[in-house]
Structure 1
Amino acid sequence: MSQERSATLKGNPITLVGPSLAPGQPAPDFTLNKNLLETSSLKDFAGKVKLISVVPSLDTGVCDAQTRRFNEEASKLGDNVVIITVSADLPFAQARWCGAAGVDRVVLLSDYKDNVFGKSYGVFIKELHLDMRAIFVVDSNDQITYVEVLGEMTEHPNYEAAVAAVKALI
């Protein structure tokens, strides 16, 4: 049985599918595409603090700004922190966007194939087959310490709170 909750896109209702994750819970494992043939999982970032920034598509203004902001923050957080951006964009589109935007400190992973990340992290948008804007901070032991799932897709996350949650772990 799938869990569903409501959110909005420009005030119009959308449905999020999956669990409502909370601090203190273990982070669900995932397998996401780095490119068409290579994948990456939570285990690939073992021992690091992880800020997982989820965006619907890099080709929108808020998603672009969110990813650029965390790329800037990455250089200030040290080698024990990894910032992962997850979107349902194809890996080709992610690589093109990174090159055009000069983003080089964030790991971009694609949930395009089967939306497993979105469904296991509770951010899969049923109507659009995209992932809802969200931030998850996961400690070096893969426990969730901070969650922000936006109620309105077009709003920005609380960047300061997310960065503060990471800094509290390093």
Structure 2
Amino acid sequence: MAQITFKQQPVDLIGDEVKVNDQAPDFKVVDQGLNPITLADYEGKKKLISVVPSIDTGVCDQQTRQFNEQANDEDGYVLTISADLPFAQKRWCASNGLDNVITLSDYQAHSFAKNYGVLMDGLMLLARAVFVLDENNKVVYKEIVPEGTDFPNFDAALEAYRNI
């Protein structure tokens, strides 16, 4: 079982570890309208999956903005996944004037979190992480941030995304 820290406290991660060069596992989440979404909904294009504990916090807000600002001109998808309720994600997007950000909620069954090994035990939040998948859903980049309140390595993730 992998472990990170969150606010300097050790936290075990629940789920299956995903490695670079693995075929990305499927997942079932919901969009802002409560519609079920799976990995197949983004078939055929590269994907940068930005995983955040809660979109309403400063680091998560900045992570979501930075990836969307710096990667939205690419021919692919930038997905932000959290365990926030879809209504909170929708409110955050609206209050920040962000109409093109794709937020997905893993609150129902934590399918994404368990399949990608990023569910924080006890907190039931998603650990801060970034996964980059190619158009065939092969994992080409992975980062699970060791301290949940720190930023991911934006440059490395964006380079991996752009170089697909």
C-alpha displacement of 1:21: 1.3
Residues 82, 106 of structure 1: 8 Å contact kept: no
Counterpart in the other structure of 1:110: 105
Which of the residues 156, 162, 169 maps onto 2:157? 162
Tell me the equivalent position of 2:5: 8
Aligned identity (percent) is: 46
Which residue of structure 2 lines up, in the alignment, with residue 134 of structure 1? Answer: 129
Count the aligned residue pairs: 164
More deviation, 130-139/68-77: 68-77
CA drift of 1:70 comes to 1.2
State the match for 1:58 in structure 2. Answer: 55
Any runs of at least 4 consecutive aligned residues in structure 1 with deviations exceeding 3 A, and if so which?
none
Per-residue deviation, 1:139? 0.3
CA drift at 1:11: 1.0
- Which amino acid in structure 2 is aligned with residue 157 of structure 1? P
Q: Which amino acid aligns with 1:39?
A: P
Superposed displacement of residue 87, structure 1: 0.3
Shift, 1:102, TM fit: 2.0
TM-score, normalised via structure 1 length: 0.93
* Contact 2:71–2:158 (Cα < 8 Å) also in 1: no
Give unmatched runs, 5+ long, in structure 2.
none
> Which of 114, 122, 136 matches 1:119?
114
Question: What pairs with 1:19-168 in structure 2 (closer than 5 Å)?
Answer: 19-35=16-32, 37-77=34-74, 80-168=75-163
> 1:142 aligns to what SS in structure 2?
coil
CA RMSD between the two structures:
1.1
